[in-house]
Amino acid sequence: MPKLTITEERWPIAGRFTISRGSKTEAHVVTVTVEDGPHRGHGECVPYPRYEETVPQVVAALEAARADIEGGITRQDIPSLLAPHAARNALDCALWDLEAKKAGKPVWQLAGLAQPAAVVTAYTLSLDTPEAMGDAAARVAHRPLLKLKLGREGDDERLKLIRRNAPKSRLIVDANEGWAPDNLAAMLAACAEAGVELVEQPLPAGNDEALRGLARAVTVCADESAHGVETLNQLTGKYDAINIKLDKTGGLTSAIELAHAAQSRDLKIMVGCMLATSLAMAPAMLLTPLAAFVDLDGPLLLSQDRSPAILYEGSLMHPPSAALWG
């Protein structure tokens, strides 16, 4: 019979990671291993306080489901055991990995997806003073795609300094709900002037009606407002794209469903991540053939990654080995 192992892990960040809501110095993750005979499937999740999730809550939810998991559930059974988001994500990905190892076939093939290829990921610049972010941009100006964490006073100056110091890099912005309806148009105009291609979640989720019908020269992407398929109706008319993160959808199974549903509504797809190791990036990478933007740089922001790890050559991200996942 299957055996479940739940592990808490802490991975130091290289420096400090700051967004409009605050800062942190480590990635606190939960990993799940489901062992069945000689085969082991692995999954990783990041409980996120923004969605009222903590590591103890996620561990407790998985422990509560232990008897069912060790009784031999399938991925189709997971929604009846766990609410969407982190705990479901880790278990769903672990069962995908286990299924692949038993079948001797990669997950992308089992899921009916295109084989992932090497892809350029965004590289994130943490929110800081305009001068500090300008200096950081100069240091990484060789990277082809930069993601700028904004959402505080002085964002227009940050944009000017970053564009000046990284003139050849493509830019995307994540305001993390940090702007307001009264400065929205001005900030989107500043982004367009700086050549920004996409802005994530400029307004707070639940207070984003000002986006509806707003003329803009830059793509606006839902992040905190976008979770599973059930949230798509709320996004129509306000957003041009959605950021799909497995910790929000509750795993790869739901993420695939969401990606196809978004495509049917002509929404662009961004594949994103929480701050985590290569084990969390690996299943998300299966969605990259469907994505216009890829932001899977979590391991690049850590002091060290797990082993085996995804190979990053600069910002070029290679598909994971079967030894890692899938």
Rounded Cα–Cα distance for residues 24 and 12 (Å):
9
Same domain, 136 and 278: yes
pLDDT at 50: 84
CATH number of the domain that residue 219 is part of = 3.20.20.120
Same domain, 94 and 166: no
Q: Is residue 194 part of a domain?
A: yes
Q: Is residue 114 part of a domain?
A: no
Domain that holds residue 12: 3-104
Instruction: Give the type of residue at 113.
Output: L
Same domain, 85 and 149: no
Q: Is residue 113 part of a domain?
A: no
Residue 59 host element (H or E): helix 55-64
Rounded Cα–Cα distance for residues 12 and 306 (Å):
12
Same domain, 9 and 35: yes
CATH number of the domain that residue 32 is part of = 3.30.390.10
Half-sphere exposure of 132 (CA within 13 A, CB side): 10
Rounded Cα–Cα distance for residues 101 and 309 (Å):
18
| Torsion of Cα atoms, 178 then 181 then 183 then 188, to 10° | 80
Q: For the chain, where are the E strands, in sequence order?
A: 3-19, 22-36, 39-45, 119-120, 123-125, 145-149, 170-174, 196-200, 219-222, 241-244, 268-271, 293-294, 312-313, 316-317
pLDDT at 51: 83
Domain-terminating residue out of 48, 73, 104: 104
Same domain, 209 and 89: no
Q: What is the pLDDT of residues 264-301, one digit of tens each?
A: 999 999 999 999 999 999 999 999 999 999 999 999 99
Same domain, 94 and 123: no
Domain-terminating residue out of 104, 138, 165: 104
Q: Is residue 112 part of a domain?
A: no
Same domain, 123 and 256: yes
pLDDT at 64: 97
Same domain, 157 and 40: no
Domain count, the chain: 2
Burial of 140 (0-12, 13-18, 19+ CB in 10 A): middle
DSSP 209: G
Domain-terminating residue out of 104, 138, 172: 104
Q: Is residue 67 part of a domain?
A: yes
Same domain, 161 and 243: yes
Q: Is residue 18 part of a domain?
A: yes
Same domain, 71 and 211: no
Is 97 within 8 Å of 325 (Cβ atoms)?
A: yes
The low-confidence residues of the chain, meaning pLDDT below 70, are none
Rounded Cα–Cα distance for residues 185 and 179 (Å):
10
DSSP 129: -
Is 244 within 8 Å of 272 (Cβ atoms)?
A: yes
Same domain, 138 and 95: no
Q: Active-site positions?
A: 149, 245
Backbone angles phi, psi at 103, to 5 degrees: -85, -15
**Is the bond preceding residue 308 a cis peptide, omega within 30 degrees?**
yes
pLDDT at 183: 94
Same domain, 128 and 88: no
